[in-house]
């Protein structure tokens, strides 16, 4: 019988904490402006393998749960309102050193500070509506992947 475990889990390692995986979001601003295909093209062109991908429309409560670490920040209401304002694409990405590799491709959080050639330089309009999200550590990547994907949704 075929094992239920997806290919990304090896026999010894059932944990999702792996340095070759990260979590990403193509945020509602980028989806609404029709940038999804271009961003996915850039992700694949940069050598990532997409292990999970789906279009979702988060509720305010889901966005508040996802960004709970920022709940004391003054922009928390604005952030969760925006993230639940329309569809977004959630991604599980694989590459060696996936977390820093995806953060390099995204560019600085504030697009005004993002380097040429980065996704935020090209597609983001402001620090709040900054086109893409990425995990900041392997541990958070595992938490964020598990927040949106079941094991059966990862290949």
What is the x/- site pattern for ligand CMP, positions 54-93, by CB under 6 A?
----------------x----x--xx--------------
Minimum separation from the CB atom of position 21 to ligand CMP (A): 17
Cα–Cα distance measured from residue 93 to residue 44, given in angstroms and rounded to the nearest whole number:
10
DSSP assignment of 64-84 equals HHHTGGGTTSTTHHHHHHHHT
Inter-residue contact 21 to 92 (CB < 8 Å): yes
- Does 133 contact ligand CMP by CB under 6 A? yes
Asked if residue 147 binds ligand CMP (CB under 6 A), the reply is no
Residue owning tokens 């239920």 = 4
Q: Please, which residue, 79 or 141, has the CB nearer to ligand CMP?
A: 79
Nearer to ligand CMP, 118 or 130 (CB): 130
Structure tokens at 78: 């604005």
Check residue 22 for interaction with ligand CMP (CB under 6 A): no
Whole-number minimum distance, CB 145 to ligand CMP, in Å? 15
DSSP 3-state of 40:
helix
User: Does the active-site annotation cover 133?
Assistant: yes
Task: Give the CA angle between residues 56, 58, 62 to the nearest 5°.
Answer: 135
Q: How far is the CB of 78 from ligand CMP (least distance, A)?
A: 6
The C-alpha atoms of residue 57 and residue 63 are separated, in whole angstroms, by 10
Catalytic residues: 133
- Binding residues (CB under 6 A) for ligand CMP: these are 70, 75, 78-79, 109, 127-128, 130, 133
């Amino acid at each position: 019988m075929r094992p239920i475990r997806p290919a990304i889990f090896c026999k010894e390692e059932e944990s999702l904490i792996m340095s070759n995986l990260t979590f990403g979001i193509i945020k509602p601003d980028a989806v609404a402006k029709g940038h999804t295909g271009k961003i996915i093209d850039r992700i694949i062109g940069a050598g990532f393998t997409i292990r999970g991908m789906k279009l979702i429309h988060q509720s305010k409560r889901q966005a508040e749960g996802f960004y709970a670490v920022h709940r004391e920040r003054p922009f928390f209401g604005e952030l969760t309102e925006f993230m639940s304002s329309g569809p977004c694409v959630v991604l599980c990405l694989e590459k060696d050193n996936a977390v820093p590799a995806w953060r390099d491709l995204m560019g600085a959080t504030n697009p005004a500070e993002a380097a040429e050639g980065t996704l935020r330089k090209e597609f983001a309009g402001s620090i709040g509506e900054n086109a893409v999200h990425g995990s900041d550590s392997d541990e958070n990547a595992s938490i964020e992947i598990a927040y949106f994907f079941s094991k059966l949704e990862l290949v």
